[in-house]
Structure formats: structure tokens, C-alpha cells
């Protein structure tokens, strides 16, 4: 199972999203997602989210909060456990990302983005500052075929 992180950075009532348009053979091609990536050997989720955020955006997280865990499965892809974080305290110079285009999106406009179906289950929890969650998402191709949502 792949272990990874996902981070939604907040500023001025907007979240930073990555429109995945540049990476070849990308399961997320054309989708809008947070920033993040796979844990490296010996790395904690917290270390990973800081490293990946800086690599993909140029921004350094000064603080962050783990908001939930996603368990993702899809035919033809390795299962993945994703630790979801948010941050509204950061510094640095935003730079271009080699995986897609970064854009600050108004909270009210997030629902209008080309999102994964499963993202529509957990993003409202982030936007509404809901308690910690665990969500299982199972896909067949691009179609969500099973989900289980737990809040704590």
C-alpha cells in the first residue's frame, strides 16, 4: 500500500489547489487536488507534508493540522492511505509546479472544480472545519463504487 499526504493551504478565504495537467500517465490528470505526495523511507506523514508542500509550491508550512485519513482503492492501481492536512500558517515565495498549475480558489467555488467524486465527500468537512474523519473510497475507473465515512 502506498502511504501519502495531501495538503490544502488556506489564505484569504481561498484554498490552494493543483490542477494536474503536466505529469505523464497521471491518474489525477485534469483533476483539481491539494498538494502532496508519497512518504519517503523513514519519513513521517508530518515530515512528508512539509517536504512535498515546499517541493510543489515553494511554500514552507509554519503549522498544519491533520484533518483526516483516506483509504483509496481502484482497479489497476495500488491501494493508498492518504493523510489529509490543512494549513493557514506558511511563508515563502510561491513558485510554479512541474505537475500542474497552482491556483487559489475561493471556498465557494471549490464545488465547481473538476474533482474526484470522493473528494466531494471530504472537502466539505475541510471547508466547514469538521472533526477528524476517516473515509474509504473505492473506484472502478473514474466511478466511485463504494464509500464509507466516519467522523470522530
**Per-domain residue ranges for the chain?**
2-151
Taking the model in full, what pTM does it have?
A: 0.94
Could you tell me the CATH superfamily of domain 2-151? Nucleoside Triphosphate Pyrophosphohydrolase (3.90.79.10)
Confidence at residue 110, expressed as pLDDT on a 0 to 100 scale: 96
The predicted structure's pLDDT at residue 22:
78
Cell numbers given for 118: 470522493
Residue with cell 506523514: 45
How many angstroms separate the Cα of 53 from the Cα of each of 6, 46, 139? Answer: 9, 11, 26
Mean pLDDT of 136-145: 93
d(CA 149, CA 121): 8
DSSP class per residue in 99-132: TEEEEEEEGGGGGGS---TTHHHHHHHHHTTPPP
Is 80 exceeded by the pLDDT of residue 122? yes
pLDDT of residue 72: 94
* Integer CA distances (angstroms), 64 to 55, 61, 86, 90, 119, in order: 16, 7, 6, 9, 20
62-93: per-residue pLDDT in tens? 999 999 999 999 988 899 999 999 999 999 99
Where residue 2 falls among pLDDT bands split at 50, 70, 90? very high
Amino acid at each position: 500500500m502506498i502511504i501519502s499526504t495531501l495538503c490544502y493551504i488556506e489564505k484569504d478565504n481561498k484554498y490552494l489547489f493543483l490542477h494536474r495537467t503536466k505529469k505523464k500517465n497521471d491518474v489525477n490528470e485534469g483533476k483539481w487536488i491539494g498538494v502532496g505526495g508519497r512518504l519517503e523511507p523513514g519519513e513521517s506523514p508530518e515530515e512528508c507534508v512539509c517536504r512535498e508542500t515546499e517541493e510543489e509550491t515553494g511554500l514552507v508550512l509554519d503549522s498544519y493540522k491533520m484533518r483526516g485519513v483516506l483509504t483509496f482503492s481502484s482497479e489497476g492501481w495500488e491501494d493508498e492511505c492518504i493523510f489529509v492536512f490543512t494549513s493557514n500558517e506558511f511563508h515563502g515565495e510561491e513558485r510554479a509546479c512541474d505537475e500542474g498549475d497552482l491556483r487559489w480558489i475561493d471556498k465557494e467555488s471549490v464545488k465547481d472544480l473538476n474533482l474526484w467524486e470522493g473528494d466531494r465527500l471530504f472537502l466539505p468537512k475541510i471547508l466547514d472545519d469538521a472533526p477528524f474523519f476517516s473515509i474509504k473510497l473505492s473506484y472502478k475507473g473514474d466511478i466511485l463504487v463504494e464509500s464509507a465515512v466516519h467522523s470522530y
